[in-house]
């Protein structure tokens, strides 16, 4: 969405240097059990090391078994980005030592990923941008290291194996990205896609979606890529944009000063607003990949792919197009309704409850009033819901002049707070307007008769005097008269035009 004060690299830097950026995303797949064992993935809030077995603890002799659902979710992601899936894929061992990796290797996929050569298109402030996605492959997550003070206050590291072996999908793009904004928009759209197809909850703060950016600069007008730096530890979309912007500036300053860059991994510190060196980058040679001997190669039946493709829900991009083209919504409303699950559901359900409602009116209520109330609600408040049928009723009452727009907003707020039906709130608060010209006509006649001086003023062209008469009608009807209808009735009787 549009954010103010967007970070962006200085214009003069960008005149000399062209950023070249590739994005790697790791996302935890939404499966009930882990990638190669039966341990539950629902370890959130559970005691450390309570969701483990010999397989995910990496004990010698334990044998992995492939989680079919995890494979299916990567294939679904591949289908959603128009990627290719080879009929034969396999697993490879990526060897390295780290305390969070008990086996000394990670089961991953090296040269035969489950999905390859896809694309994704996102909207940016410079228009649509298409990024090529090199691959999406399946691997296993590592355990989690917890650094804490020990019994004597010394620094110790603890290992929690609950996360060890959770299915992880890695999605890698071509180095097509040229701006920090494009990178952020890609990450946002990918999160939306993964949530839409149910592949991942993709919550960045909870580590379910981890974004890494490979950033290099090349002199404008030249072909070869420069030395790249991998930036990690960005745990929000805003961090992605800020970190890349910082890195572009940092690299440009170094290159301008004639300092060569080293290929390295840098972390992002949100507090300090800068990247810092973590380690000098390994190359894939260092991992000594080789085919995993404990698992068979995987054959993906074409019929299975067809089935997965057929089961995909409506994807974000076609849904936005449908909202704009078939329902006449603005690009902004379409983007908001597709990006926000609650808003999108309320919009769809309201239209489903009453097919004759104007989609644009429904969209206005949802993106305006509903989201305003929902976003203002404090975090500890219960879920903020509106009944689609009640919203539809309210939109009808405004449309036919039964209640004013201002009162309708109050009714909606009361409905969201209490769950009471719209009509009941309207009745209880005396909001129903009298719009019937016949009924109001009689009251208007009586008011004119009772206020001859004001009526004469209006007849003499003093248009302001009409306000006094409208006020008198309102008093008679305890504020329930439709002001527009009253004005029209007064003008008709007193012969003034539209002036005033």
- Residues forming contacts to ligand ADP in the complex (CB under 6 A) are 20-24, 172-175, 214-216, 225, 228, 284
CB of 415 to ligand ADP, least distance (A): 48
How many CB atoms are closer than 10 A to CB 265? 18
CB of 34 to Mg ion, least distance (A): 22
Nearer to Zn ion, 160 or 181 (CB): 160
- β-bridge pairing 144-149 and 155-160: antiparallel
CB of 57 to Zn ion, least distance (A): 7
CB of 112 to ligand ADP, least distance (A): 14
Q: Which residue is nearest to ligand ADP (CB)?
A: 22
Which residues contribute to the site for Zn ion (CB under 5 A)?
Answer: 37, 39, 53, 55-56
Nearer to Zn ion, 51 or 409 (CB): 51
Tokens 């001997």 locate to 293
Q: Spell out, one character per residue from 427 to 466, where the chain touches Mg ion: x when CB under 5 A holds, - when not.
A: ----------------------------------------
- β-bridge pairing 290-291 and 105-108: unpaired
Give the Å distances, CA to CA, from 279 to 101, 170, 372: 18, 21, 45
167 binds, among ligand ADP, Zn ion, Mg ion, none (CB under 5 to 8 A by kind): none
Closest by CA position to 194, among listed 336, 108, 79: 79
230 SS3 class: strand
Q: Which residue is nearest to Mg ion (CB)?
A: 24
245 binds, among ligand ADP, Mg ion, Zn ion, none (CB under 5 to 8 A by kind): none
CB of 284 to ligand ADP, least distance (A): 5
Nearer to ligand ADP, 172 or 343 (CB): 172
CB of 179 to ligand ADP, least distance (A): 13
Nearer to ligand ADP, 19 or 388 (CB): 19
CB of 290 to Zn ion, least distance (A): 24
214 binds, among Mg ion, ligand ADP, Zn ion, none (CB under 5 to 8 A by kind): ligand ADP
484 SS3 class: helix
37 binds, among ligand ADP, Mg ion, Zn ion, none (CB under 5 to 8 A by kind): Zn ion
Nearer to ligand ADP, 169 or 403 (CB): 169
22 binds, among Zn ion, ligand ADP, Mg ion, none (CB under 5 to 8 A by kind): ligand ADP
- CB-based burial, 124-138: b 16+ in 10 Å, e otherwise: eeeeebebebbbbbb
CB of 168 to ligand ADP, least distance (A): 14
CB of 194 to Mg ion, least distance (A): 19
Nearer to ligand ADP, 174 or 423 (CB): 174
- CB-based burial, 308-331: b 16+ in 10 Å, e otherwise: beeeeeebbbebbeebeeebebee
Report H helices in 357-459. 359-365, 371-376, 388-399, 405-418, 422-428, 437-450, 452-459
Q: What is the DSSP string of 136-181?
A: EEEEE---EEEEEE-TTS-EEEEEETTSTT-EEEEEEE-S-B-SHH
The C-alpha atoms of residue 234 and residue 241 are separated, in whole angstroms, by 9
Nearer to ligand ADP, 200 or 216 (CB): 216
CB-based burial label for 174 (10 Å; 0-12, 13-18, 19+): middle
Nearer to Zn ion, 164 or 496 (CB): 164
Sheet holding 290-291, edge to edge: 105-108, 92-95, 290-291
Q: Kindly provide the residue ranges of all beta strands, DSSP E only, lying in 252-299, ordered along the sequence.
A: 264-269, 274-280, 290-291, 298-299
Distance of CA 458 to the CA centre of its chain: 56
174 binds, among Zn ion, Mg ion, ligand ADP, none (CB under 5 to 8 A by kind): ligand ADP
CB of 255 to ligand ADP, least distance (A): 13
Backbone angles phi, psi at 78, to 5 degrees: -60, -45
Neighbouring residues of 389: CB distance < 8 A, sequence distance ≥ 6 = 350, 353, 354
Nearer to ligand ADP, 247 or 340 (CB): 247
Q: Which stretch binds Mg ion (CB under 5 A): 20-28, 86-94, 218-226, 354-362?
A: 20-28
Nearer to ligand ADP, 231 or 443 (CB): 231
How many CB atoms are closer than 10 A to CB 113? 26
* Site for Mg ion, rule CB under 5 A: 24
């Amino acid at each position: 969405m549009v954010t103010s004060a967007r970070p962006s690299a200085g214009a003069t830097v960008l005149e000399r240097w062209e950023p070249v950026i590739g994005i790697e995303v790791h996302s935890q797949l939404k499966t009930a059990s882990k990638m190669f064992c039966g341990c539950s993935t629902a370890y959130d809030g559970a005691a450390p090391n309570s969701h483990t077995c010999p397989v995910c603890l990496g004990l010698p002799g334990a044998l992995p078994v492939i989680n079919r659902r995890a494979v299916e979710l990567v294939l679904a992601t591949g289908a959603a980005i128009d990627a290719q899936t080879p009929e034969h894929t396999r697993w490879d061992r990526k060897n390295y030592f780290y305390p969070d990796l008990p086996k000394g290797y990670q089961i991953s996929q090296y040269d035969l990923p489950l999905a390859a050569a896809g694309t994704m298109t996102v909207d940016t402030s410079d228009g649509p941008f298409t990024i090529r996605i090199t691959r999406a492959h399946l691997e296993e997550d590592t355990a989690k290291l917890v650094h804490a003070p020990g019994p004597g206050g010394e620094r110790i590291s603890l290992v929690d194996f609950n996360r060890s072996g959770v299915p992880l999908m890695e999605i890698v793009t071509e180095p097509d990205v040229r701006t920090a904004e494009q990178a952020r928009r890609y990450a946002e759209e990918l999160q939306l896609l993964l949530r839409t197809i149910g592949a991942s909850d993709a919550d960045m703060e909870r580590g379910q979606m981890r974004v890494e950016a490979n950033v290099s600069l090349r002199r404008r007008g030249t072909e070869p890529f420069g030395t790249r730096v991998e930036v990690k530890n960005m745990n929000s979309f805003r961090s992605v944009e800020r970190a890349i912007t910082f890195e572009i500036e940092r690299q440009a300053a170094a290159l301008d000063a004639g300092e060569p860059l080293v290929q390295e991994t840098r972390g992002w510190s949100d507090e300090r607003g800068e990247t810092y060196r973590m380690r000098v980058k390994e190359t894939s040679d260092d991992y000594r990949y080789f085919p995993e001997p404990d698992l068979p190669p995987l054959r993906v039946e074409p019929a299975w792919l067809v089935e997965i493709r057929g089961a995909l829900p409506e994807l974000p991009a076609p849904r936005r197009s449908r909202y704009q083209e078939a329902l006449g919504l603005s690009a902004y409303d379409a983007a908001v309704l597709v990006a926000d699950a609650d808003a999108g559901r309320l919009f769809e359900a309201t239209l489903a409850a009453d097919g004759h409602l104007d989609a644009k009116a429904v969209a206005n209520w949802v993106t305006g009033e509903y989201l305003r109330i929902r976003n203002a609600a404090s975090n500890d408040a219960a879920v903020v819901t509106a009944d689609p049928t009640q919203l539809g009723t309210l939109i009808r009452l405004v449309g036919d002049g039964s209640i004013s727009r201002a009162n309708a907003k109050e009714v909606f707020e009361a409905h969201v707070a209490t769950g009471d039906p719209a009509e009941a709130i309207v009745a209880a608060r005396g909001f129903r307007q009298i719009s019937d010209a016949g009924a109001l006509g009689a009251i208007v006649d009586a008011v004119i008769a009772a206020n001859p001086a004001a009526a004469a003023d209006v007849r003499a062209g003093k248009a302001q005097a009409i306000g006094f008469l409208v006020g008198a009608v309102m008093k008679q009807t305890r504020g329930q008269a439709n002001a527009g209808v009253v004005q029209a009735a007064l003008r008709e009787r007193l012969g003034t035009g539209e002036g005033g």
